[in-house]
Amino acid sequence: MTQRIPHLINGEWCPGVGTDLITVTDPTTNQPLWQVACSTAEEVDAAVASAKRAFMTWREVPTPERARVMLRYQHLLKEHHDALGDLVALETGKTIADAKGDVWRGIEVAEQAANVASLMMGETVENVARGVDTHSWVQPLGVCVGITPFNFPAMIPLWMFPMALACGNAFILKPSEQDPMTAVRLVELLLEAGAPKDIVQLVHGRKAQVDQLISHPDVRAVSFVGSVPVGQHIYRTATDHMKRAQCFAGAKNHIVIMPDANPQQVVSQLVGASVGAAGQRCMAISVAVFVAGARDMIPALRDELAKVTPGHHSDPEAAYGPLISPQAKERVLGLIAKGKQEAECLLDGSDCTVAGYPDGNWIGPTLFRGVTADMTIYREEIFGPVLCCVEVDSLDEALALVNANPYGNGTSIFTQSGAAARKYQHEVEVGQVGINIPIPVPLPFFSFTGWKGSFYGDLHAYGKQGVRFYTETKTVTSRWPETDIPGLNSSGSGTVEANMTITLK
């Protein structure tokens, strides 16, 4: 019988009583891995009620102690790095190197959460008026919710709950129904690190469970990562119910290649950045903009992409894995077919097989040339191993194209010119910019700063902005007249006044 994925509700691991069952499959074979029951409305309510109770105790735990739980958690995650990587590879089909990278990026956030006390420091001003001082404290919100996508099942939950918990909140995680076992393991390790067993709750499901959570009166904040339509729905619904919300959504990331860029560097970096992880990264490069003579690099790019093949994660030669599901594969194949009508297809990965895995969701590297901004393959997020080449005559034209795009997650420029690089980083309307770096993901002491249609909200994930998202500031102003202090002469301050002359100019 297929193993049941557990829920964690009210501090108890349980299989769930729901009858809506989802089968989680191995994307390299489409064979069942395990089953998960969608949480019932009663289970979701119980999770929120339990989290609310747990918060009242957890918020009083000294901040350094909460930080120490995160320190132990970071240590345990490192100890289990290989096993977690294997689990991510099994559920997503990613290569082992990629899967371990997914876990590592999350470990770095737990590391940052262990430093929470210094990130939660308030401010003080003495003597805002005579005998009056003001200070501010940074306090947790209460029950926070996280809804995560399939493509980084370790990193993205770890963007959320370590920081939220370190700040003193309770957390409810609803991971992707396509690969929820990684989340189970992450939460098990959190409890092993010493977190109270009811401070994080794990529920499963899809739209119904999400909608209940984001409209629940006892939920204060919602973090979401996923596609644009769902992100917009969650942002609208959560804010309509007066929640704080941060929603990280889809992307269409451009790389601009200037004629003076190093061709070998461009070609080798672009291959990994476009088809790595089967293009299922929100920071994948999906559009290459060749400026003037840089277009001469396109044939070499085609030849390098043609050498790359997907494969099973047990094969060290595999460049990347399968698409997450047959539905995702069908969608991408449909977009490739559309692209063949719209543009010139230099490399077509539609008909791709991997020896020993005939039923996997494989798609080979695919390259289009002559793409323009009105085409479907340019406008839609493909989320597959597909790269679109656009040719323009100047950096200004490239900037205009990128800035007119509704998304703004990441971009990069390859050039040897400091002036071109400076102009690009200054004028481009995208949140994360790489210069001679194709995927500029910031480390957790910065924030993950998507713009425009790639992000709805104001405070971003992790870093200082992450802490600000999961807390609110309380300002306290106090008056302590010296006459109240036994033994102090009330004329003391008067003496100071008598000797002081202040001239205002």
- With b for 16 or more beta-carbon neighbours within 10 A and e for fewer, the 397-408 pattern comes to bbbebbeebebb
Binding flag, residue 149, ligand NAD (CB under 6 A): yes
Binding flag, residue 250, ligand NAD (CB under 6 A): yes
Give the binding range for ligand NAD (CB under 6 A) out of 146-154, 285-293, 330-338, 495-503. 146-154
Binding flag, residue 251, ligand NAD (CB under 6 A): yes
Binding flag, residue 91, ligand NAD (CB under 6 A): no
What is the size of the binding site for ligand NAD (CB under 6 A)?
27
Binding flag, residue 169, ligand NAD (CB under 6 A): no
Closest to 12 in 3D by CA, of 157, 146, 141, 201: 201
Identify the H or E element spanning 160: helix 155-166
Binding flag, residue 431, ligand NAD (CB under 6 A): no
Choice between 55 and 383, CB closer to ligand NAD: 383
Q: Give how far Cα 345 sits from Cα of 178, 370, 468, Å.
A: 31, 9, 46
Q: At what angle do helices 181-192 and 63-79 cross, to 10 degrees?
A: 130
Is 38 in the active site?
no
Binding flag, residue 383, ligand NAD (CB under 6 A): yes
Take residue 503 and report the two structure tokens written for it.
């001239």
For residues 179 and 23, the answer to whether their CB atoms sit within 8 Å is: no
Binding flag, residue 449, ligand NAD (CB under 6 A): no
Q: Tell me which residue has tokens 């973090």.
A: 223
Which residues are 23's β-sheet partners?
35
Q: Which of 282, 352, 388, 389 is catalytic?
A: 282
Choice between 134 and 227, CB closer to ligand NAD: 227
Q: CA-CA distance, 319 to 307, in Å (whole number)?
A: 10
Burial of 259: CB neighbours in 10 Å, binned 0-12, 13-18, 19+? middle
Give the binding range for ligand NAD (CB under 6 A) out of 43-51, 149-157, 185-193, 252-260. 149-157
Binding flag, residue 226, ligand NAD (CB under 6 A): yes
Our CA dihedral for 141, 142, 143, 144, rounded to 10 degrees, sits at 20
Q: Give the residue, chosen from 74, 223, 286, 409, that forms a contact with ligand NAD under the rule CB under 6 A.
A: 409
Closest separation in Å from C-beta 206 to ligand NAD: 5
First-last CA distance in the chain:
84
Binding flag, residue 89, ligand NAD (CB under 6 A): no
Closest separation in Å from C-beta 175 to ligand NAD: 6
Burial of 84: CB neighbours in 10 Å, binned 0-12, 13-18, 19+? buried
Take residue 220 and report the two structure tokens written for it.
């204060």
Closest separation in Å from C-beta 26 to ligand NAD: 17
Binding flag, residue 274, ligand NAD (CB under 6 A): no
Positions marked active-site = 282
Q: Applying CB under 6 A, which residues contact ligand NAD?
A: 147-152, 174, 176-177, 206-207, 210, 225-227, 230, 233, 248-251, 282, 381, 383, 409, 450, 454
